[in-house]
């Protein structure tokens, strides 16, 4: 029992150290040396400020006004496989207001640099996901941000964006209402509703 408790405390302590940013701060390995796909755009590293470019990930939200969390998909690998990673925001990024326009789950491309033990985002852009339109039958609300609809005979959950939510709440669809839904798949695999039309 004592060994189990010591092991549990060790795991919890290491997770706390990583969460508090006390984990490894060494620059990551740049994965641009070899690409499995010949026409794929590769990350670029510039000497001097250790700028890492064209990194792809999933936006995980802001931890505070000065920082954002991103789950890295491709571009760099951190030595201890820390993922998600918390990045400081450069003055330019904070001034641009782009972070407030991102939604948790958005796929993003970004550049960052490592200096003084801190990772800082220098550029960030939302990657547009392809839209798909389907016919569906409304089943009901799962919670305040999601509803379920039958699509091709399968129950399917849809995440409702803040832009679409007022219209959907105003129409207040009943179970069985036929709809046409336009959505995209975000970085977490959620079906994010961007447009709804009632039949």
Of residues 55 and 46, more confidently modeled? 55
Residue 3 placed within a domain: no
Asked whether residue 114 falls in the same domain as residue 143, the answer is no
State which of 79, 100, 128 marks the end of a domain. 128
Residue 163 lies in a domain: yes
pTM of model > 0.85: no
Whether 102 and 151 map to the same domain: the answer is no
Give domain status of residue 111, yes or no: yes
| Whole-number percent of the chain with pLDDT over 90 | 41
What are the angstrom distances between the C-alpha of 178 and each of 26, 80, 150, 153, 159? Answer: 54, 49, 10, 13, 18
* pLDDT tens string 102-157: 988 899 999 999 888 889 999 999 998 899 999 999 999 999 899 999 999 999 99
pLDDT at 74: 79
Residue 73 burial (CB count, 10 A): 13
Confidence of residue 199 (pLDDT cuts 50, 70, 90): confident
Shared domain check, 90 and 117: yes
Q: Do 171 and 115 sit in the same domain of this protein?
A: no
Query: Is the dihedral angle over the CA atoms 107, 108, 114, 118 positive or is it negative?
Result: negative
**Residue 38 contacts residue 71 (beta carbons within 8 Å):** no
Lowest mean pLDDT among 65-79, 138-152, 167-181: 65-79
Of 11 and 93, the structure prediction assigns the larger pLDDT to 93
Q: Are residues 138 and 122 in the same domain?
A: no
Name the domain count of the chain: 2
Calculate mean pLDDT across residues 26-41.
Answer: 38
Query: 12-21, 43-52, 100-109 — which one is most confidently predicted on average?
Result: 100-109
Higher per-residue pLDDT: 34 or 5:
5
Q: Does a structural domain hold residue 12?
A: no
> 124: domain CATH number?
2.40.50.320
- For residue range 78-115, list pLDDT tens digits in order: 665 567 889 999 999 999 989 988 988 899 999 999 88
- Could you tell me the residue range of the domain that residue 116 belongs to? 44-128
- H-run or E-run covering 3: helix 2-19
Does residue 42 carry a pLDDT above 90?
Answer: no
Residues 142 and 112 grouped into a single domain: no
Of 128, 157, 182, the position where a domain reaches its end is 128
Residue of 72, 90, 89, 91 whose CA lies nearest to 80: 72
* Residue 36: predicted pLDDT: 30
Boundary (domain end) residue, out of 66, 94, 128: 128
């Amino acid at each position: 029992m004592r060994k189990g408790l010591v092991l549990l405390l060790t795991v919890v302590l290491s997770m706390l150290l990583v969460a508090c940013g006390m984990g490894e701060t060494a620059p990551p390995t740049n994965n641009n040396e070899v690409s499995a796909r010949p026409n794929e755009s590769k990350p670029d590293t510039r000497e001097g400020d250790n700028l890492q470019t064209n990194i792809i990930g999933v936006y995980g939200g802001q931890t505070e006004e000065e920082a954002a969390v991103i789950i890295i998909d491709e571009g760099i690998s951190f030595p201890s496989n820390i993922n998600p990673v918390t990045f400081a925001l450069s003055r330019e990024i904070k001034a641009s207001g782009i972070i407030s326009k991102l939604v948790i789950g958005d796929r993003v491309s970004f550049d960052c640099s490592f200096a003084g033990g801190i990772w800082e985002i220098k550029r960030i852009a939302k990657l547009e996901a392809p839209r798909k339109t389907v016919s569906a039958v409304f089943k009901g609300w799962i919670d305040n941000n999601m509803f379920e609809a039958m699509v091709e005979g399968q129950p399917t959950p849809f995440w409702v964006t803040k832009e679409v939510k007022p219209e959907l709440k105003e129409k207040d669809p009943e179970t069985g209402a036929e709809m046409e839904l336009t959505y995209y798949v975000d970085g977490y695999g959620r079906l994010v509703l961007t447009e709804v039309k009632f039949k």
